[in-house]
A = this chain, B = another copy of it.
Amino acid sequence: MTGSFAFKLIKTDGAARRGEVVTPHGTVQTPAFMTVGTQGTVKGLSPEQVAATGAEIVLGNTYHLMLRPTAERIAALGGLHKFMNWPRAILTDSGGFQVMSLSSLRKLTEQGVTFRSHLDGAMFKLTPERSIEIQALLGADISMQLDECLKLPASREEIERAMQLSLRWGERSKRAFEGRAHDGYALFGIVQGGDDIALRQQSARALTDIGFNGYAIGGLAVGEPQNVMLKVVEETTPVLPSDRPRYLMGVGTPHDLLEAVKRGVDMFDCVMPTRNGRHGMAFSRFGSINLSNARHAADPRPLDEESAHPAARTYSRAYLHHLTKANEILGQVLLSTINLAYYQALMAGMRAAIEAGSFDDFRAATIAGWQQGDIAAL
């Protein structure tokens, strides 16, 4: 199950890629959806339940974990895998994105970012070197460079400044990572450049020159329309080396995943399946379903009797409606589970389609299923 980090490209179908990411904690089949486990837990699910959805890798958030319980505490307890009892692969982000979105009193300099904890107001500093140190303490199979992620829209000048800073932080991240000499572990660079294609391509080339184990496309899904996001992806992936995995950060809806895989992306992460699940929304073959809607109140059918996951086959929509209306924890847990299982099933479907050389057919059929809508299942 363990091995040094590697990416194997197994098959392509158009720009879509079927591959494997080997890590010290197991192999991840790509295209892959990485389940978000922000604070050392996928919200509401035990590690066994996470694995049962089909997940092979989870994402931990450096920002949250550095504040509580701290990276040093987790290291002393044997690392994040042991802390959260997740024996498979873990990717950690650099903390930068959440410093920008969650903390107050940020101050960004060439050196790094100083911020106030949203928990207790204490001041912290995050530099490329400290971010790599934290991720090493956590024991991440895949670490991410620190970058600056802007909200869109932003001016070209501002986008270029942030992109160039992110490149310099990428270089420093790589030096720091090499200095720690974690054999077999990986570091990914992050392409920035907002919605400016030329800047994106410049960023991608410069990162490739630095040399990383994989390349993320960051700074998307931050307010721009889907077509802008997909355009950036489409123009960026051809500039990245084909023998390294590509990770589109923080994306997205099932439709986003389908379109991004079509454009050559291998890895994703998103809070949507768990966050929306906690708010009564299910993702399914029939599109998204709002379980709090009264039309489900007397519906004895399961969400999807053909699902590979028992949670989608076992519980009636009426029961899920009841749990949602009653704000019961089990409703949040079941819908999170059902959604993660659907995301994993979608990725498995894409992988099989690429292998069979029928990705476009799969894509069309999947979208048609969503467009039928839930009504079609009645």
Q: Which A residues have a C-beta under 8 Å from some C-beta of B?
A: 39-46, 68-69, 73, 76-78, 83-85, 297-298, 300, 311, 314-316, 318-319, 321-323, 325-326, 328-334
If A44-B330, A318-B83 touch, whether A76 touches B298 (CB-CB below 8 Å) is yes
Cβ–Cβ < 8 Å partners of A323 in chain B: 39-41
Inter-subunit contact A298/B329 (CB<8 Å)? no
Do the beta carbons of A43 and B329 come within 8 Å of each other? yes
Q: Do A46 and B78 touch (CB < 8 A)?
A: no
Counted per complex, copies of this chain come to: 2
Query: Which of A85, A332, A334: most chain B CB closer than 10 A?
Result: A85
Contacts A39-B326, A318-B77 given; does A46 touch B334 at CB 8 Å: yes
Residues of B close to A315: CB separation below 8 A: 85
A273 to chain B, nearest CB (A): 15
In this complex, what residue of B is CB-closest to A316? B77
Which B residues lie within 8 Å of A41 (CB)?
323, 328, 330-331
Contact B45 A330 (CB under 8 A): yes
Q: Indicate which residue in B69, B85, B311, B325 contacts A318 across the interface (CB closer than 8 Å).
A: B69
* B69 & A297 in contact (Cβ 8 Å cutoff): yes
- Are B73 and A318 interface neighbours, CB within 8 A? yes
Question: Are A330 and B83 in contact, with the CB atoms below 8 A?
Answer: no
Do residues B83 and A319 form an inter-chain contact, with CB atoms below 8 A? Answer: yes
Contacts of A329 in B (CB 8 A): 43-44, 329, 332-333
Nearest Cβ on chain B to A303's Cβ, whole angstroms:
14
Task: Check if A333 sits within 8 Å of B44, measured CB to CB.
Answer: yes
Q: Are A69 and B322 in touch, CB under 8 angstroms? A: yes
Q: Please name the residue on chain B nearest to A299 by beta carbon.
A: B77
B-chain residues with CB within 8 Å of residue A334 when the two chains form the complex? 46
* Cβ-neighbour of A43 out of B43, B68, B330 (below 8 A): B330
Docked pose: A316 CA to B76 CA in angstroms:
12
CA distance A46 to B336 in the complex (A): 13
* Complexed CA–CA distance, A330 and B333 (Å): 9
Q: CA of A43 to CA of B331 in the docked complex: distance in angstroms? A: 9
What would be 19 A-B contacts, judged by CB atoms less than 8 Å apart?
Answer: A39-B322, A40-B322, A40-B323, A41-B328, A41-B331, A45-B330, A46-B330, A68-B326, A69-B297, A69-B325, A73-B298, A77-B298, A77-B300, A77-B316, A77-B319, A83-B322, A84-B319, A85-B315, A329-B329
Contact partner of A319 (CB less than 8 A), chosen from B40, B300, B326, is B40
CB-based contact A85/B44 at 8 Å? no
| Chain B residues within 8 Å of A330, by CB | 41-46
